[in-house]
Structure 1
Amino acid sequence: MSTIRTLTGITTTGTPHLGNYVGAIRPAIKSSLQDDTESFFFLADYHALIKCWDPERVHESAREIAATWLALGLDTDRVTFYRQSDIPEIPELCWILTCMTAKGLMNRAHAYKDAVQKNEESDAKDPDKGITMGLFSYPVLMAADILMFNAHKVPVGKDQIQHLEMARDIAGRFNHHYGELFAMPEAVVGDTTAVLSGLDGRKMSKSYNNTIPLFVPEKKLRKLIMKIKTNSLEPGEPKDPDSCTLFEIWSAFATADEIAAKRRQYEEGAGWGQLKQELFEYLNDHLADPRARYEELMQDPGYVEQELRKGADKARNEASARLAKVRQAVGIRPLG
């Protein structure tokens, strides 16, 4: 049986929320349990520095994200779970790849072009105003993350497809010049992946400040759910479940029978207060055990650190071997 190697990075800039769980964490953990899959999960703390210059936020986010994955049952004996900054071979590979990457390719990156466009629209004298080299060369670091472990599949959102294409371009150029050292990664875009709306009806995102943190305390969870935006239909009036954030979140967690029963409630005119209370009770029950484990882990950072170090040791065993081949290929090797 051939093994498919997958790699997923989680940027350490925020607190995991319900949307992160149903859209990325849950399917990733499920995939990691398949016998034909070899999974790499990492905390992308170097990537975090591109857009977050708050050291306490970056540090606390790493702790929260690591504790979240462990609390949700990630088996660190089956997967390689590590912190990006614990693998010094990655930034070294990033530099070598940077030396093979055309500036014109980076000029076409969406994030860079969007930043330039905003400057031009604001009549800034310098189109590159406020743009760091971290933002500009971000796709090269992403390529190094992927190529270091020769990942075959990289689950990404649609906004990251271009970066995977760039990683392929960079790998192809290196392979053409120095020999076939890197596998060609493929983007995996989950068209059926659940995307949740937030408190205001827009996509749940920390950028919109509309998230429901995954392991927020019980009282806070209820308060947030009660704040979810709904329309003005009264109890007794039929409601459209397919345009409702409450139903969307319910459907991401419930069984098929539970979803069908909830749909009937909407059609029969259940009140918003009742629907919100039932969603709170359902989510609270669903998250109770992993929340308790998460709270234990947050009080035991030494254990979380130990798990990350264990993963880093596994990752570095492979990274050092691959980097040695890359160094040999580019001519950085002993003289005799």
Structure 2
Amino acid sequence: MKESTQNLENLDIQKMKSNKKRFLTGIKPTGEVHIGNYFGAIKPCIEQSQDKDNEVILMCVDWHGLTNKNEIFRPGELSHPLIALYLALGFNINDNSIVLQSNFPQIQENSWYLSCVTASGMLERSHAYKDALANGKTPTAGLLFYPALMSSDILTFDSHFVPVGKDQAQHLEYASDMAQLFNNAVKKNVFNIPKAIIQETPTLVGTDGERKMSKSYDNVIPIFSTKKELERKVKEIKTDSKGLDDPKDPNTCTIFQIFKSFASPQAISYMEERLKRGIGYGYGHAKKDFIDEHEKVFGAYREKYEYYLNDINAVRKLLRPGYERAHSYAEQVTKRAREALNLKNYW
């Protein structure tokens, strides 16, 4: 196994034919996008796409959302709004790609090849499968085979790097194990194993001031909403009993902790200084500044978001060059797999 790993690492280097580093990032369409999503995943991905040394393939993984059969239509409904949001917020589509997972049959094909060399017990031991069952999901075959599909996502585009959180590190381990099992079975280096980039993004607290910001806890601040809805959500942010003129600790102030995840450096310094001084600056003032800054940061993108949301043909046109690049990568990998298996083509 060590020898195979070394060969694949050499293949990694050989695959970097250009100076660009190819990153694969997956996003699952599961509901309204909030500031916690922006802070943890959207902003880092957009910044990565704006680095001229990178090529980012951002994949909306709608097939993964189908594993919740009680909401099986939601991924299809939510994928376009999610793609529109990334475009509106500044993802650099000129040099990178945004693709929809279900538009790439090569992913399903490679998932089957990987499944055929993987023990069923390995799938049953995956954290994603066990956590889903623990949270009451029905143990469908799709849920069981989730790790194989995830591994195929990672391997199908010959990516060099995959940014993941600590809780997702097992996905890269599974992809690596399955790739090596397949490569050993066919005695060829078919699948190139990318390197994991473990992201150390802090968890953003929700409006309740206790748990992480999550739709399941109903403690979120949306990115795009009406001003009335935003005001209602901001009013819900939990505060302590300190008065208008009392000094306040920004490190324990929920308003400030959420605020600094999206605000400009100048706005962050302004609120931090006034909270510490306290004189004439209460939580009501902080919430008003929060709303104003939210509108300043995200309001400028709302019109563009509405445009992309309502014109799918314009979005298709923007995505087409990236689709062509991603399709080329996926076809190369899948062709290697078919040839290694000596599969025939009569079409």
> TM-score, normalization: structure 1?
0.90
Measured after TM superposition, the shift of residue 28 of structure 1 is 0.9
Between 295-304 and 307-316, the greater mean CA deviation after superposition:
307-316
AA of the residue aligned to 2:122: L
Change (3 A) 1:254 1:172: same
Q: How does 1:173-188 map to 2 (within 5 A)?
A: 173-178=181-186, 179-188=188-197
Residue of structure 1 aligned with 2:167, choices 159, 164, 168: 159
Change (3 A) 1:285 1:257: closer
Distance 2:163 2:300 in 1: 27
Residue matched to 1:135: 143
Distance 1:89 1:316 in 2: 9
SS at match of 1:189: strand
Residue matched to 1:264: 273
Measured after TM superposition, the shift of residue 249 of structure 1 is 2.0
Change (3 A) 1:260 1:194: same
Residue matched to 1:13: 30
Measured after TM superposition, the shift of residue 253 of structure 1 is 2.5
Measured after TM superposition, the shift of residue 11 of structure 1 is 0.7
Residue matched to 2:314: 303
Change (3 A) 1:141 1:198: same
Distance 2:306 2:287 in 1: 25
Residue of structure 1 aligned with 2:250, choices 238, 241, 244: 241
Residue of structure 1 aligned with 2:152, choices 117, 124, 144: 144
Verify the 8 A CA contact 1:148 1:319 in the aligned structure 2: yes
Q: How does 1:39-58 map to 2 (within 5 A)?
A: 39-51=56-68, 53-58=70-75
Distance 2:319 2:342 in 1: 33
SS at match of 1:252: coil
Change (3 A) 1:212 1:60: farther
Residue of structure 2 aligned with 1:60, choices 72, 77, 81: 77
What per-residue deviation string (whole Å, max 9, x for no partner) do you get for residues 268-302 of structure 1? 22211111011110111111111121112222223
Verify the 8 A CA contact 1:87 1:316 in the aligned structure 2: yes
Residue matched to 2:299: 288
Between 250-259 and 212-221, the greater mean CA deviation after superposition:
250-259
Verify the 8 A CA contact 2:108 2:152 in the aligned structure 1: yes
AA of the residue aligned to 1:68: L
Between 83-92 and 28-37, the greater mean CA deviation after superposition:
28-37
Q: Give the unaligned 5+ runs of structure 1.
A: 120-128
Measured after TM superposition, the shift of residue 194 of structure 1 is 4.8
Distance 2:148 2:317 in 1: 29
Distance 2:265 2:69 in 1: 40
Q: How does 1:178-217 map to 2 (within 5 A)?
A: 178=186, 179-191=188-200, 193-201=201-209, 202-217=211-226
Q: Give the unaligned 5+ runs of structure 2.
A: 1-17
Change (3 A) 1:169 1:176: same
AA of the residue aligned to 1:312: Y
Change (3 A) 1:14 1:316: same
Q: CA RMSD in A?
A: 2.1
Measured after TM superposition, the shift of residue 171 of structure 1 is 1.1
Measured after TM superposition, the shift of residue 77 of structure 1 is 2.2
Moved >4 Å (runs of 4+):
115-119
Q: How does 1:29-108 map to 2 (within 5 A)?
A: 29-51=46-68, 53-108=70-125
Change (3 A) 1:309 1:12: farther
Change (3 A) 1:112 1:56: closer
Distance 2:227 2:303 in 1: 11
SS at match of 2:182: helix
Residue matched to 2:288: 277
What per-residue deviation string (whole Å, max 9, x for no partner) do you get for residues 235-259 of structure 1? 1122221122211122122344443
AA of the residue aligned to 1:208: Y
SS at match of 1:50: coil
Verify the 8 A CA contact 1:155 1:190 in the aligned structure 2: yes
Verify the 8 A CA contact 2:114 2:152 in the aligned structure 1: yes
Verify the 8 A CA contact 2:66 2:73 in the aligned structure 1: no
Residue of structure 1 aligned with 2:261, choices 247, 252, 259: 252
Residue matched to 1:126: none
Measured after TM superposition, the shift of residue 83 of structure 1 is 0.5
